[in-house]
Chain A
Amino acid sequence: MVLQRARLNQWARLYKGVHTWAGIVAGMALFIAFYAGALTVFKAPLERWASPPANTSAWVDVADTPALIQQTLVQDPAVADEFFVHLHPLEHRPAAMAWMVAAEGADEHDQLAQVHYQSFFDGDGELVIEQASPSPLAEFLDVLHRVVGLPFDTEYTRWVMGIFAVLYALALFSGLVVVLPTFAKDILSFRLGKNRKRMWLDAHNVVGIVSLPFHLIIALTAVGFAFHDGIYMAQDKVVHDGTLIQSFRSGLPAPDPSPKEPADLLPPAKILAQVEALAPEFEPTMLQYLRVTSPMPAVRVWGNDQQAMGARAWGSFAILHPYSGEVLNTDYLPSHQEASFTAINTIFSLHFVTFGGTLEKWIYFILGLAGAWLFYTGNLLWVESRRRSQKPRQPLPVQRGNVRWLASTTVGVCLGAVCGMSATIAAAKWMHGWVDNLILGHQLVYYVTFFLAIAWALTVGAAKASVQLLWVAAALTLSIAASSLLGWAGWVPAWWSHGSLATLGVDAMAVMGAACFGLMAMSTAKRVYSGSADSVWTIGKPAVTATD
């Protein structure tokens, strides 16, 4: 027993070094990924909030979509490769039929590089095909989340993200080993009190332990999302002997080379009736047509089953034959899938929180913010462990250069990301009507704010910058709701406010977020101006003059 305790302590010491190293290298990138990820839980409401109101009078009902599909495909046969038929109009979605064309040379996962199109009938019943411009805001935030704050989701940035995700997994494991020997004692005696560092450490440990299951899931899936292409390629060589492509194609019917006429497509209403008969509890949201004029045509009916784990971020789906209506595949339909597919869907669902309802999304939102907080406090503890305390009747010590640098950088990067994201969300309204390239606009607003914050923090130091940047974060976050209010009141004609609960929720969250940042700014200010002087977090006496 005594030996075991000694061994455990020895491991704890060893892994403390690993934990510190991994945490310091990856902490700030992970802060950005988690803060953006928490926002991305509400990607759909953010997208609706950020899009100007669309003219939904041209909405085509399901019953009339056969003519819309057929005429669109006559005018532009290339659309047959992939298009969507939406079943429900929303404030930002004016047309039932939509498709995307990838920009030249774009990565397949890079949603921002897609040009969106839609088709509908005008007042005279004539077909109109036009370029759609859905707000890229939510997708941009998702990109920040997916590639730890980098601007583009490409093969290379995913590798960078993967490296951070591996370090994150390592930090989790090593952190667990560090707290294990003294875990029971430490958890049961959460020490609020004089020793501030001890209190932060206890809080860091409690939050880490309580959210450990969430972090394990996120770490394992994030590494998978980053490296799946590479892993599949390696497995194709050493595990599957080059048969992987065939494996993915198995389960689909044999190609049928007979010529296909879009006019013969089964009406979407009939496709939906087939799915309804198959799975009455399934609520379809859209149809995704694939390769309808090729030898392997298919239509995926996407939707949600409230009682089950969604297969992917868009929900679950069944694959049908778009001409015969025959059900081709139900592997991704919760009520009709085998256990092996339920297992796969669970992996995705636990990352994207496509299970349960609004409550589960809020839990993930809070866990995501708590994760960001964990990385911030990790850096803070590194700084505080290296603090030089003032001895009685001794001059104020000079804090180490790398300690001051990490404190400033942590404040600049973390609060810079928070400020940048709030600014770029609000900018969805500010830029409307006069900015052509909205993606570039959102990127500029975010990165200019982000880098200005870092530069400012490095210039004025962690103490001053933390208070100031928290106030800036509060102001920018409040401006999200203020922009909606000005749009609703009609004071700025180009701005708008939707009435739906989802979009009002975005405004309400912005108000609450701003209040939180304001409170944090006030309590931080208290410490900065009246805390003990031998700290990088106070400006009681400038450290440089302390040598006299």
Chain B
Amino acid sequence: MANTRSDSRQGSHSGWLGQGLAGLILGFTLALGVSKLFMLMTPEMVQTARVQLAMWMVMPVWLTVFAVSFLWRRALHAWVMLGILNLAVFGLAAI
């Protein structure tokens, strides 16, 4: 019993490839969603600048999510949580 407890406290990671893949793919779509929110929030900005800034903001969002995604203990958790985040952002943008 003591063993199981210490294992779960140590955070027995189920590898990190699956988590990374979730971060890489869903992090990218999430970044697209965030750039969509940015476009909705900045209607008064010059159009040519707006679309460029929207492109550049993909990088920090995408790569941060990718880097952080390894913290999920199971790949499935990463996919589900990032999936929900994606739905939330795109849902917000659709309203």
Q: Which residues of chain A have a CB within 8 Å of any CB of chain B? A: 10-11, 14-15, 17-18, 166, 169-170, 173-174, 219-221, 223-224, 228, 231-232, 234-235, 238-240, 244, 247-248, 250-251, 331, 338, 340-341, 343-344, 347
Report the separation of the CA atoms of residues A15 and B68 in the bound assembly, to the nearest whole angstrom: 10
Report the separation of the CA atoms of residues A18 and B24 in the bound assembly, to the nearest whole angstrom: 14
Prevailing SS type, chain A contact patch = helix
Report the separation of the CA atoms of residues A176 and B39 in the bound assembly, to the nearest whole angstrom: 32
- B53 contacts A340, CB within 8 Å? yes
- A228 contacts B47, CB within 8 Å? no
- B53 contacts A224, CB within 8 Å? no
The residue among B10, B56, B59 with the most chain A CB atoms within 10 A of its own CB is B59
Q: Which of B1-19 contact A (CB under 8 A)?
A: 10-11, 13, 16
Closest 7 CB pairs of A and B: A340-B49, A173-B67, A239-B36, A169-B63, A220-B59, A250-B47, A247-B51
- B49 contacts A238, CB within 8 Å? no
Known A235-B51, A247-B48, A347-B56; 4 more pairs at CB < 8 Å: A10-B11, A14-B70, A173-B63, A223-B62
Chain A residues, CB < 8 A from B71:
11, 14
- B32 contacts A251, CB within 8 Å? no
Q: Which residue of A lies closest to B58 (CB)?
A: A231
Chain B residues, CB < 8 A from A340:
45-46, 49-50, 53
13 contacts between A and B (CB under 8 A): A14-B16, A18-B16, A169-B63, A169-B67, A170-B66, A220-B60, A223-B59, A223-B63, A224-B55, A235-B32, A247-B47, A344-B49, A344-B56
- B66 contacts A239, CB within 8 Å? no
Chain B residues, CB < 8 A from A10:
10-11
Q: Which residue of B lies closest to A234 (CB)?
A: B32
Chain A residues, CB < 8 A from B56:
224, 344, 347
Chain B residues, CB < 8 A from A224:
55-56, 58-59
Task: Given A10-B11, A14-B70, A347-B56, decide whether A239 and B32 contact each other with a Cβ distance below 8 A.
Answer: yes
The residue among B36, B46, B62 with the most chain A CB atoms within 10 A of its own CB is B46
Q: Which residue of A lies closest to B51 (CB)?
A: A247
Chain B residues, CB < 8 A from A331:
46, 48-49
- A166 contacts B51, CB within 8 Å? no
- B50 contacts A247, CB within 8 Å? yes
Chain A residues, CB < 8 A from B20:
18
Report the separation of the CA atoms of residues A143 and B59 in the bound assembly, to the nearest whole angstrom: 22
- A239 contacts B39, CB within 8 Å? yes
- B70 contacts A238, CB within 8 Å? no
Task: Choose among A223, A235, A341 the residue that contacts B46 (Cβ–Cβ < 8 A).
Answer: A341
Q: Could you give, for residues 24-68 of chain B, a 1 whenever the CB lies within 8 Å of some chain A CB and a 0 otherwise?
A: 100000001001100100000111111111111011101110111
The residue among A231, A232, A250, A331 with the most chain B CB atoms within 10 A of its own CB is A231
- A338 contacts B55, CB within 8 Å? no
Chain B residues, CB < 8 A from A247:
47-48, 50-51
Chain A nearest Cβ from B74, distance in angstroms: 13
Report the separation of the CA atoms of residues A173 and B32 in the bound assembly, to the nearest whole angstrom: 21
Chain A residues, CB < 8 A from B46:
251, 331, 338, 340-341
Q: Which residue of A lies closest to B36 (CB)?
A: A239
Q: Which residue of A lies closest to B23 (CB)?
A: A170
Chain B residues, CB < 8 A from A239:
32, 35-36, 39, 54
Report the separation of the CA atoms of residues A250 and B66 in the bound assembly, to the nearest whole angstrom: 34
Chain B residues, CB < 8 A from A251:
46-48
Chain A nearest Cβ from B54, distance in angstroms: 6
Chain B nearest Cβ from A202, distance in angstroms: 24
Chain B residues, CB < 8 A from A18:
16, 20, 70
Chain B residues, CB < 8 A from A169:
63, 66-67
Chain A residues, CB < 8 A from B55:
224, 228, 231-232, 235
Chain B nearest Cβ from A2, distance in angstroms: 12
Report the separation of the CA atoms of residues A33 and B91 in the bound assembly, to the nearest whole angstrom: 40
Chain B residues, CB < 8 A from A170:
63, 66-67
Report the separation of the CA atoms of residues A10 and B11 in the bound assembly, to the nearest whole angstrom: 8
Chain B nearest Cβ from A180, distance in angstroms: 13
- A235 contacts B49, CB within 8 Å? no
Report the separation of the CA atoms of residues A234 and B31 in the bound assembly, to the nearest whole angstrom: 11
Chain B residues, CB < 8 A from A17:
16
Q: Which residue of A lies closest to B73 (CB)?
A: A14
- B36 contacts A166, CB within 8 Å? no
Task: Choose among B32, B54, B70 the residue that contacts A15 (Cβ–Cβ < 8 A).
Answer: B70
Chain A residues, CB < 8 A from B58:
224, 231, 235
Chain B nearest Cβ from A164, distance in angstroms: 13
Chain A residues, CB < 8 A from B51:
232, 235, 240, 244, 247-248
Report the separation of the CA atoms of residues A173 and B11 in the bound assembly, to the nearest whole angstrom: 20
Report the separation of the CA atoms of residues A341 and B35 in the bound assembly, to the nearest whole angstrom: 17
Chain B nearest Cβ from A365, distance in angstroms: 24
Chain B residues, CB < 8 A from A250:
47-48
Chain B residues, CB < 8 A from A240:
39, 51
